[in-house]
Structure 1
């Protein structure tokens, strides 16, 4: 299987690098081409300002929480070259077209070129994709969603499961469609978060459980063994109002439990039995 990476830049978050390394180590897949997202700087500044205004109180709480919690190792960036021999692949940098104010469309000419160079694409960047790229590679575009899309769609990852006091959180690798978090399921796993004291602990467990899922998903795509979800969960976005306050209190108490040794945020996650291949 020839793989195209759709990447945000020349580095990857460590969890993505680990998932890609697992794919390359456990299959005969090879990365043949990378398409980089290169948005215009003016557009980036405008989007940053607009996003901050949209997030309101969550922008403040999330910034303070990040300052206290510090970075999650899984989200630290590593060079793409630590996983892929960039000298042996085709690379393109493009500025995607913005559709409906927030969706991203890769030019049809680039999609046609990718179709000649790769059998499947892996989305590690570009936001919500629409257009010709979704169907250009023979096996489509696969992408992580850190949630069970039959229950929780949207973002932030693991947040709503934590705030709602769920005992498990899902991880889905889907073949993308033009329905937000509504694609065919290529791999699905559930992670025990019942004793996770903080949102950061929830995310660490989801990231840890993600390592082998790209491999499972690409194998399923190659076999044509993908499943339409029987139903889709509610679509969530960044919180406002009461959920922000609930999070702040729950996360603060959980962090105190970690500090005073009454909770272990790094307890290995127990994986549920209901997994797709």
Structure 2
């Protein structure tokens, strides 16, 4: 398993590139799932044992095989093999189960640590039960059945009177994440014949002890590996999953609600603050880095809650976490890292520093498999109204798409004017988490138009330099009265082709259920189901005459061509750039504008009324949209030569 220093250069380069998710390749769920499974298979091959290497360490290479995680990777491989009828992966699952079984002690316990010869460990034993139970279901081989019974018997005997396993836990301390030991005990109770009530009693005793360690805000004491440290999201997610699955199997609402309470707290944090961080203290104050493993686990937790409750919020949370992880999973490059998922982002975060854990890829694959299952299950409902049934006189419900939590001042003014002048409400804001000066869309544009990208970056510090309010001042959406009470959901776009994006289906479903129309001020160039999800589609601003100045940048080419006027419009989007139905159009006089900046200022400040005009046109039975006889060519951002000409003209006119 050792690799030379030279052999580690490729994975190190790939990992460094993955630290810039704006430049990452984001593909379909199936592509990312296949990549994760391929990486898990590779982690098995490098050990030459049948077990999966615990991690790939960027400095030290592959670790030894890990019985604990190999055990619970087994069900993931079986599920993938069943879903895709893949006999090769099925054979790998059996081989991994065989190796894991070979590490079992005579007492029925399984070892802690890597390599297979550690001291008995209760948590590891519980995780391996999940794999051996699935191996028995898949193969019918009695040895797996017997191994599960022996492991459950040992856990019952090793449990303390209080309900934990401190004598056989990490650093001989009690931890609430052993809720994930209670769950396998209940799996064993369902799988095995004969007297299994002791397993159920032991599981209940542990889960009730875990519940006693939960605070009123959902946070858990004793969830961290070491006393006095904030627990990783990874161990918090372990605890939640054990409570949910254990409460379900025991039909115990109190235990189930304990897990749900913590899951709901984290869902609220994700909704309010973005993708979950690496650790949280007792007041849910986060660390500076992200735990990718924990995000993958929480995606699976929320997907399970969606199955249990039908609440669409959980499905949206699942998708947001999955999209976040997809941006940090390399699917190109060296086999040591391609398809794997680092423990932390940045990779120098405290959780699994500089490492790609096999359990990170396992949980990510589980979440993708679950999303695929939910997508194909017609019995699942989204937990919201299926269609809007408001009367025609009801206020128009508008969804707002934004990049991040801020919009320009002129956009805030346009929204305010619309709500004041029409019967329009904004019940939903969909926030693009992939936003900012160096977001993926800007990075892709920068590669295609490097000169203009350099200009944007260099000029950025000098915008909004004065004290007077400017059209492009940043306004937080909560400062817009019409948006203040709207629901927020956060998500990431799916890449379709080049600069074009789609919104994930989970977000589109929420938009369809709540809104009549969408106003796009984020997510770049969009295509797909979002364009037809609502009654009135998606409307968006474009500052330019559709017969002459499609594309952009706004006002640049009008300045360069000495145009006396410039067009402004709000259009209904379609799958072609600036070629939709023009719902509102107006022109502004440029004859007294001496710079591109003055033109931009005029275009934006004098176009705020067009949003209101467009909505009135859409709702009117008599007003017709603007007729465009022939759409003009698409303009692109300027080259270095064209920027040089602009600079010369700008200086000349000053």
- How high is the TM-score relative to the length of structure 2? 0.37
For residues 62 and 191 of structure 1, the distance between their equivalents in structure 2, rounded to whole angstroms, comes to: 25
C-alpha deviation, 1:12, in angstroms? 1.1
Q: Aligned residue for 1:117? A: 514
Q: Does 1:57 align with 2:451?
A: yes
Note if 1:229 corresponds to 2:624.
no
With over 3 angstroms needed to count, the CA separation of the structure-2 counterparts of 1:32 and 1:240, relative to structure 1, is same
Q: Look up the match of 2:594.
A: 197
Distance apart, 1:88 and its partner CA: 2.9
Q: CA deviation at 1:111?
A: 1.7
Residues 117/162 of structure 1: CA separation in 2 closer, same or farther (3 Å cut): same
1:96, 1:56 → 2: CA distance?
A: 23
Matching of residue 26 in structure 1 with residue 421 in structure 2: yes
Aligned length: 253
Name which structure has the greater RCO, CA cutoff 8 Å, separation 6+: 1
Q: Deviations over 1:241-270 (max 9, x none)?
A: 54222211111223x2xxxxxxxxxxxxxx
Distance in 2 (CA, whole Å) between partners of 1:247 and 1:124 is 27
SS in 2 for 1:98: strand
CA drift at 1:186: 0.4
Taking structure 1 as the reference length, the TM-score comes to 0.83
Match of 2:476 in 1: 79
**Deviations 1:49-83, CA, capped at 9 Å, x for gaps:** 55434333334445555666755811111111111
The residue that corresponds to 1:10 in the other structure is: 405
Q: Write out per-residue CA displacement over residues 158-188 of structure 1, whole angstroms, 9 at most, x where no aligned residue.
A: 0001011111111010000111000000000
Residue 251 of structure 1 aligns with which residue? 650
> Partner residue of 2:154?
none
Which string of whole-angstrom CA distances, capped at 9 and with x for unpartnered residues, describes residues 110-144 of structure 1? Answer: 22321221111100101111011111110111100
Distance 1:196 1:66, change over 3 A: farther
Cα 1:98/1:108, change in 2 over 3 Å:
same
Does 1:165 find its partner at 2:562? yes
Report SS of the residue matched to 2:404: coil
What is aligned with 1:268?
A: none
- TM-superposed deviation, 1:98: 0.4
SS at match of 2:584: strand
2:539 to 112, 136, 142: 142
Aligned CA distance change for structure 1 residues 4 and 102 (closer, same or farther; 3 Å): same
Against the structure 1 CA distance between its residues 47 and 105, is the aligned structure 2 distance closer, same or farther, given a 3 Å change threshold?
A: closer
The whole-number CA distance in structure 1 between the counterparts of 2:640 and 2:487 is 46
CA separation of 1:96 and 1:193: change in aligned 2, threshold 3 A: same
Structure 2 match to 1:259: none
Measure, in 2, the Cα distance between the counterparts of 1:182 and 1:233: 9
**Contact in 2 for aligned 1:31/1:84 (Cα 8 Å):** no
Q: Which deviates more, 242-251 or 15-24?
A: 242-251
Q: Are 1:144 and 1:173, in contact at CA under 8 Å, matched by a contact in 2?
A: yes
Change (3 A) 1:40 1:17: closer
Q: Structure 1 residues 96 and 17, CA, compared in 2 at 3 Å: closer, same or farther?
A: same
CA–CA separation in structure 2 for the residues paired with 1:8 and 1:138? 23
Distance, in Å, in 1 between the alignment partners of 2:627 and 2:506 is 29
Q: CA 1:4–1:197 in structure 2 vs 1: closer, same or farther (change >3 Å)? A: same
| Secondary structure of the structure 2 residue equivalent to 1:226 | coil
Distance of 2:496 and 2:515 partners within structure 1 = 25
Alignment of 1:203-222 (within 5 A): 203-222=600-619
Question: 1:95, CA displacement in angstroms?
Answer: 1.1
Structure 2: distance between partners of 1:233 and 1:36 = 32
Give the structure 2 partner of residue 179 of structure 1.
Answer: 576
Report if the CA contact (8 A) 1:40-1:95 is conserved.
no
**Alignment root-mean-square deviation, CA:** 2.3
Query: Do the aligned partners of residues 58 and 127 (structure 1) sit closer, same or farther apart at CA in structure 2, a change above 3 Å counting?
Result: closer
Q: 1:128 to 1:62 in 2, by over 3 A?
A: closer
**Cα deviation digits, residues 3-27 of structure 1 (max 9, x gap):** 1101112111101001001001111
Task: Find out whether 1:129 has 2:526 as its counterpart.
Answer: yes
Q: Distance in 1 between matches of 2:439 and 2:479?
A: 30
Structure 1 residue 85, shift from structure 2 partner = 5.6
SS of structure 2 residue aligned to 1:246: helix
Whether the 8 Å CA contact 1:98–1:105 is kept in 2: the answer is: yes
Deviations 1:26-64 (A, max 9, x none): 1111111111111299xx566555543433333444555
Secondary structure at 2:488 match in 1: strand
Deviation of 1:221 after TM superposition, in Å, equals 1.3
Question: Aligned in 2, Cα 1:22/1:55: closer, same or farther, shift over 3 Å?
Answer: same
Q: 1:99 to 1:18 in 2, by over 3 A?
A: same
Q: Does 1:37 align with 2:429?
A: no
